Amino acid sequence: MQLTGNLFSSLSAILGYEISTLPDFPAEIRAPQGTIGGVSGFQVQLGSGVYTPGDKADVIVAMNAAALKVSAMNKHYHDHAIIIVDTDSLTDKDLEKALYKTDNPFTELAIPESVQIVPVALTTLTKEALKDSGLDNKSMLKSRNMFALGLICWLFDEPMDEAIHLLEDKFKKKPALIEPNTKVMVDGYNYGQNLALSVNQIRLEANDNPKVQGRYTSIAGNKATAWGLIAAAEKAGKHLFLGSYPITPATDILHELAGRKDMNVMAVQAEDEIAGVCTAIGAAFAGDLACTSTSGPGLSLKSEAIGLAVMAELPLVVIDVQRGGPSTGLPTKTEQTDLMQALYGRNGECPAVVLAASSSANCFDFAYEACKIALENMTPVILLTDTYLANGTALWRIPEMAELPEIKPQSVPEELKGHYNPALRDERGVRYWAFPGMEGYEHRNIGLERDAEKGTISTNPANHEQMVLARKHKIEQIADRIPELKVIKANSQQPITDSTLLVGWGSTEGHLHAAANEIGCDLAQFNYINPLPKNTREVLSRYKRIVVCELNTGQFAAYLRAQFPELPIEQYNEVMGQPFAVERIVNFVKSVKR
Amino acid sequence: MEASQFKSDQYVRFCPGCGDHAICMAIQKAMAQIGIEPHQVAVISGIGCSSRMPHYLNTYGFNTIHGRGGAVATGVKTSHPELTVWQMSGDGDCFAIGGNHFIHEIRRNVDLNVCVFNNRIYGLTKGQYSPTSAKGFVSKSSPFGTIERPFVPGQLVLGAGGTFFARTLDVDMPTTVDCLVAAQQHKGCSIVECLVNCVIFNNGTHAWIADREQRAEHSIILKHGEKMIFGKNNDKGLAVEIDPHTFVPKMIVVSADDPRVLTHDATQQDPTLHRLLALMGQDRFVEVQKDGAPEANDALPVALGVIRNVEAESYDEAVNKQIADVREHAKAHCFDELTATLESWEM
């Protein structure tokens, strides 16, 4: 199902639609098929002005009885939606597996009359299409999804030749699969045409006026993150080193970088999460652009070592692809629950820079920015993304190296040769970077407290406080080098209120933007969390009502209240392992009167 | 080069009489003998008495966090194979909290020179038993004696597929320097177990072999290509006997002129004999010898010197070679070339 979804999304993007996708699958590798827990879904919204994968679907393709039930239970579709359902997968046995109580699933699920149900014998039709192919039964059944894809392409008026081209590209390593899959897909398309299926209420508008002209592709968040690191290393003139341990949903970053030896990337699959970050710290000590990628449980394990990088003042990029927690939690679902851990989850006074990407495509920009800040300020930077961004795909304008901002690593000046020590700082308070192999800069770095002048071990009380404040100041001064907070204005037919502000951070930007449009209010979406943009207080204090919306129980709201106790901060939270539903945010803001 | 070129200006803070002083000097001497410039050397450590070592060496150094020296060192060496990388660690740092990194640096055969200072006690935290304390050992955290079986480090190294293992003693400077130099010359993960005395919390732990009067009888210094002969009068030799019923081989002591006396081959790929050698004379280090209990099998000497030294491709070499190979045949070598390979469209 994930393959079908990805193909349809890519096809839509090529045709000029904006896309936003939400793959949603169980944690198990082969979850029991046909059961409620085993449903794997892929949601995509296309059109123009697309901010989210959408709350409710116009078209549902239910490949079996369980999928139909899950969609109905979650009220996943509009009243006038089309539900395409595989009638071959509604046998008594299938209904039993999906725990139906009667033999009429549509009545039992109370699907409204207004919903158009399109029963298609997908399995039979696929087998019919492939009867001369020589494929065995199992392989034929696997192509069932392609029949559905063809049918959807017909519904959304997407041309077959482009789709065939994509399919050929997808199966180029297994050429034997190209012909049968193409045949099934085209048969699916023709089937839709023959039945004259149509979706009346869907009016798709291609995005023919993108903000920036250029070359576009569709990209998943994890890949965009990996490529941001690659671009930053090239710009900075550094080798890229990744130390990482496999963990859902961050592993694709490791996969991508392990495969990018052509870009001179050194990717070490470490023996554990701690070794992932520690090998990276070793590479940073030796002068590389060093990164580690993980998810929440891995960030917990890396905490002490991130503290070492804070203390040793080494550049380090830590990518936390957040998932549902705590503990093992919901490994394949999305949440924003690691914010406090990223900000404070270390022993001692241990400040690190915290950034958050807000779309699958801008994972590239913020991975790049994380590297820039780390290298220029000799500090660990934690970049927060999440399952939703990591697995979702979005339209990405491909940048050229020349247009990306300069990165100037904090290299030690020549005149310090022979006098260098690891405590020496520039006027901004950032220490200089010298590394093994450089003659005349030999030094000992430490996780122990160091003397502010000599750089050697010190237990002096006043020196410790001086160093705590020096490390704090070093992070604070970064606010001078990041963009100011810009409010996103509502693009809405609604009467605009200038007294309410929606506030969010990271991956919720699309949903909050859509909600702000519906409410008719402004939105402030944060990508820079520590330090905050310098004008944050000034911007927030313009509003009478500030609603901080996040997928946790109020971590960013608490952070803002601690910094700006005078501001009237409300909060709206969901912790269901799913992205926001725009409708619920709108209802909350409209219904709660102040 | 002179050993003094590798001395830093820091005051050495090991306790008076601590075995670490001697190893520190041996490291400086070995580095001078090897002759690599101080700026090409990185010394990485974790936490513990032994992990203070980088501060006393005038090279690049990084005193990291407890147990993680091996992982940090792996990162340094892998990213910069041109550097000479040493790791300083202790029996707690390496075999307890850092055990995972230890076995994996050995398994991968990262080209590191690892000195493990084994004093069979936690010194810096003031006297708790360690993974190498003998069973029954009484310490602050085992007031009734430990109930744990200890590691024999040599066995652990061989079990992890180690390509180099040496054992040396703080009071034997020449053997220590020889082992350290051999460790540097070996390409791959070289483990040197340095038996050191903790004068404060575990004084005399290695007295059985460290004592000047007994050392020649209780230990043997193995040298590659030389006969395994020991004893005050060089009158004893080592041979292997195979039990005819179980086929289990065991080391035996024979007369030095016995034709069965073995010649040491550190380069033998098969680790069977190296394991037997590493396990010799370990009884009293594995279990505390109690009064009235049967005598420990002390007939076999403790092996010192380079026990195993075999060739194998190192991780850092292999991964950098793989990168070079891929780059040679790759279509794209920079970001703009990479993005050109994407399926894309103009808008």
The reply to whether A191 and A42 lie within a common domain is yes
Residue A354 falls inside a structural domain: yes
In angstroms, the separation between the Cα of residue B51 and the nearest Cα of chain A is: 11
The percent of residues above 90 in pLDDT, for chain B, comes to 94
Q: What is the largest CA-CA distance in chain A?
A: 85
pLDDT band at B345; cut points 50, 70, 90: confident
Residue A127 and residue A131: Cα distance in Å, rounded?
6
DSSP classification of residue A490:
P
Least confident of A86-90, B3-7, B160-164: A86-90
- The predicted-structure confidence for B247-304, as pLDDT tens digits, reads as follows 999 999 999 999 999 999 999 999 999 999 999 999 889 999 877 665 666 789 999 9
- The predicted-structure confidence for B27-45, as pLDDT tens digits, reads as follows 999 999 999 999 999 999 9
Q: Which residue of A has its CA nearest to B343?
A: A217
pLDDT of residue A199: 66
pLDDT of residue B206: 94
The reply to whether A536 and A389 lie within a common domain is no
Q: What is the mean pLDDT of residues B155-181?
A: 98
Say if the Cβ atoms of B347 and A213 lie within 8 Å.
yes
In angstroms, the separation between the Cα of residue A398 and the nearest Cα of chain B is: 7
Domain residue limits at A276: 216-403
Which of B8, B37, B76 shows the shortest C-beta gap to A286?
B76
Number of domains in chain A: 4
- The predicted-structure confidence for B182-214, as pLDDT tens digits, reads as follows 999 999 999 999 999 999 999 999 999 999 999
The three-class DSSP label of residue A588 is helix
Chain B residues whose CB is inside 8 A of the A243 CB are 71, 75
Say if the Cβ atoms of A241 and B79 lie within 8 Å.
yes
The reply to whether A174 and A240 lie within a common domain is no
Per the document, the length of chain A is 594
Say if the Cβ atoms of A436 and B83 lie within 8 Å.
yes
pLDDT of residue B307: 98
Chain B residues whose CB is inside 8 A of the A259 CB are none
Single pTM value for the model? 0.92
Say if the Cβ atoms of B83 and A264 lie within 8 Å.
no
Interface residue of A6, A288, A438, A442 to substitute, partner B, most B CBs within 10 Å? A442
Q: Which residue of B has its CA nearest to A169?
A: B343
Give every CB contact of residue A28 below 8 A, 6+ residues apart in sequence: A38
Say if the Cβ atoms of B332 and A263 lie within 8 Å.
yes
Please report, for the domain that includes residue A531, its CATH number: 3.40.50.920
The reply to whether A44 and A172 lie within a common domain is yes
The reply to whether A34 and A116 lie within a common domain is yes
Residue A84 falls inside a structural domain: yes
In angstroms, the separation between the Cα of residue B81 and the nearest Cα of chain A is: 10
Say if the Cβ atoms of B74 and A275 lie within 8 Å.
yes
Residue A51 falls inside a structural domain: yes
What are the Cα distances from residue B224, in Å, to A498, B231, B264, B308?
A: 84, 18, 5, 9
Chain B residues whose CB is inside 8 A of the A214 CB are 346-347
Chain B residues whose CB is inside 8 A of the A368 CB are none
State chain B's mean pLDDT as an integer: 95
Please report, for the domain that includes residue A329, its CATH number: 3.40.50.970
The reply to whether A382 and A238 lie within a common domain is yes
Nearest to A377 by CA among A468, A283, A448, A310: A310
All residue ranges of chain A with pLDDT < 50 are: 201
State the number of CA atoms in the 13 A half-sphere of B131 facing the CB: 16
- Residue numbers of A between 220 and 239 with CB closer than 8 Å to B: 227, 230-231, 234, 239
Chain B residues whose CB is inside 8 A of the A270 CB are 71, 104
pLDDT of residue A118: 87
State chain A's mean pLDDT as an integer: 92
- The residue from A161, A195, A229 where one domain ends is A195
pLDDT of residue A553: 98
pLDDT of residue B293: 60
Residue A293 falls inside a structural domain: yes
> Which ipTM value was assigned to this complex?
0.97
pLDDT of residue A447: 98
Chain B residues whose CB is inside 8 A of the A215 CB are 339, 344-347
DSSP-derived secondary structure for A84-133: EEEGGG-SHHHHHHTT-SSS-HHHHTT--TTSEEEEE-HHHHHHHHTTTS
Among 3.40.50.970, 3.10.20.90, 3.90.180.10, 3.50.50.60, what is the CATH number of B3-226+264-316?
3.40.50.970
Interface residue of B76, B321, B331 to substitute, partner A, most A CBs within 10 Å? B76
Say if the Cβ atoms of B104 and A440 lie within 8 Å.
no
Residue A490 falls inside a structural domain: no
Say if the Cβ atoms of A275 and B101 lie within 8 Å.
yes
| H or E element in which residue A550 lies | strand A545-550
pLDDT of residue B195: 98
Which of A279, A304, A400 shows the shortest C-beta gap to B75?
A279
- The predicted-structure confidence for B211-230, as pLDDT tens digits, reads as follows 999 999 999 999 999 999 99
Chain B residues whose CB is inside 8 A of the A437 CB are 39-40, 80, 82-83
Say if the Cβ atoms of B74 and A282 lie within 8 Å.
yes
The reply to whether A421 and A397 lie within a common domain is no
Q: Which residue of B has its CA nearest to A306?
A: B65
Residue A203 falls inside a structural domain: no
Q: Which residue of A has its CA nearest to B63?
A: A446
Residue A228 falls inside a structural domain: yes
